[in-house]
Amino acid sequence: MTRRHSGGTSGFGRIVACLAVLAATALPATGAANAAGTLREVLFVGNNWDGTADVVASTSDLTKIGRVNITPDKDERLREIYLDPVKLAYFLGIRQTVGEGHDQFVDDMYTTPDGTSVVASRPSFADVVSIDLTTGKINWRFPVAGYRADHMAVSPDGRRVAVSASTANTVHVLDIETGRQLGSFKTGDKPHENVFTNDGKYLWDMSIGNVETALDDPSLDWTKGDRHITIVDANTYQQVKVIDMRSRLDAFGRSDLSNSVPPVAFSPDWSTMYFQVSFFNGFLAYDVASDKITGVTTLPKNPATTEDRTKWVNDSRHHGLSMNPAGTKLCVAGTMDDYATVVDRATMLPGPLVTTSKPYWATVTGDGTACVISESGADQITSIDFATGAKITSVPVGDHPQRVRLGHVPVGWTGPTAG
């Protein structure tokens, strides 16, 4: 393992950072409802290939609570697609490329502040829908530009949701209650991850380029498209800054690394962004104020993992990154190396390598004590203790779990009564 890192967090800085993250994650309407005891915090697990979302406890035991069908209109959507040759071509293309031979029915999801609905992006259907958690029926549907929907982000107040329209190089921002578009902005090729930062002042989008091609040799990197980070004002949706990590990587002495940035994790005070890049077993640190890469952490390779980059799913090697609320630990999903690990932010040393099967995402429990990994290769989710780095438990879910997000449901809820 190699390490190059600068920076750190003082005791006072950690206190301020913790307060900042608490303020950023508070949802006024949800908080009021919780005070009245009407909502329960949960984790939603998107099962991409079967179009469902499992709902589990937001604590490290991951107790199963219920399941939501995210495609109650499946027959109608398929009928539309098969009657339109262009839509059908993209639908089948998604299946054979990024879908690994499967349709992608649920990517990302967030609940409304009052906990009555879950809003989900559906890649193969190129849309975002709101599902009523009581009836299982669709409240509203928003077709995205182009032919595929991808990652989403929710604003700190829970009122807006941003979704990447990956084939249109566009991010839409929607009213989470009504589905009405509030704004949009253009991005690089294949917008992917979205993050509201600085207590909702900015919205960052990371475009990853053409990860579905087999032109993975470094000499063919130019075929991967225009990959950069787009930062916009989260109220006007006007561009504030564009960051191409190519020049930053070159200046840092890592011209060998891709500038395709998939998952990221920000420090609680928003000063540092940790990010993964295509084909790399590790992650880097980027100082927002100085606009420079300040560190790189290379994590162990699994000797059983092929070095043939065309065999790695969607140009991943590692895909999934999260940070505990205190800002002291990072949780990393080593996708193609079949492990997850907790990295100490002060030393940048990894903890135990927890064996997992194609881990595809990393998030944090509601109390901040554990990391939750989606094991897309084993159809289960696994919790890992931030303090020890040890596995706590694994719970089976649906087919090909990917995104895992915190949300809320009514107290006593166990699933829709009809679907």
Residue 124 inside a domain? The answer is: no
Give the model's confidence band at 34: pLDDT under 50 very low, under 70 low, under 90 confident, else very high. low
Residue 259 inside a domain? The answer is: yes
CB atoms within 10 A of CB 47: 23
For residue 165, which of 134, 198, 137, 127 has the smallest C-alpha distance? 127
Give the model's confidence band at 369: pLDDT under 50 very low, under 70 low, under 90 confident, else very high. very high
The number of distinct structural domains making up the chain is 1
Residue 233 inside a domain? The answer is: yes
Residue 166 inside a domain? The answer is: no
Structure tokens at 6: 């600068």
pLDDT at 419: 45
pLDDT at 25: 37
Q: What is the Cα–Cα distance from 105 to 89, expressed in whole angstroms?
A: 16
Residue 77 inside a domain? The answer is: no
Predicted confidence (pLDDT) at residue 89 exceeds the cutoff of 90:
yes
Residue 86 inside a domain? The answer is: no
Instruction: Give pairs for 153-156: CB < 8 Å, separation 24+.
Output: 153/193, 153/194, 153/195, 153/196, 153/203, 154/110, 154/196, 155/196, 155/200, 155/234, 156/23, 156/24, 156/25, 156/26, 156/27, 156/196, 156/199, 156/200
Predicted confidence (pLDDT) at residue 292 exceeds the cutoff of 60:
yes
Predicted confidence (pLDDT) at residue 10 exceeds the cutoff of 60:
no
Give the model's confidence band at 417: pLDDT under 50 very low, under 70 low, under 90 confident, else very high. confident
- The 10s digit of each residue's pLDDT in 150-170 is 999 999 999 999 999 999 999
Predicted confidence (pLDDT) at residue 14 exceeds the cutoff of 50:
no
Average per-residue pLDDT for the chain: 92
CATH classification at residue 214:
2.40.128.630
- pLDDT, mean of residues 282-289: 98
- The 10s digit of each residue's pLDDT in 125-149 is 999 999 999 999 999 999 999 999 9
Q: What is the Cα–Cα distance from 134 to 417, expressed in whole angstroms?
A: 6
- The 10s digit of each residue's pLDDT in 309-350 is 999 999 999 999 999 999 999 999 999 999 999 999 999 999
Residue 384 inside a domain? The answer is: yes
More confident residue, 51 or 419: 51
Q: What is the Cα–Cα distance from 335 to 396, expressed in whole angstroms?
A: 18
pLDDT at 267: 98
pLDDT at 37: 75
- pLDDT, mean of residues 25-42: 59
Residue 40 inside a domain? The answer is: yes
Output the pTM of the full model: 0.90
- Residue-range definition of the domain harbouring residue 404: 3-67+190-410
Q: What is the Cα–Cα distance from 14 to 43, expressed in whole angstroms?
A: 26
- The 10s digit of each residue's pLDDT in 232-274 is 999 999 999 999 999 999 999 999 999 999 999 999 999 999 9
Asked which of 207-221, 289-303, 317-331, 350-364 is least confident by mean pLDDT, the reply is 207-221
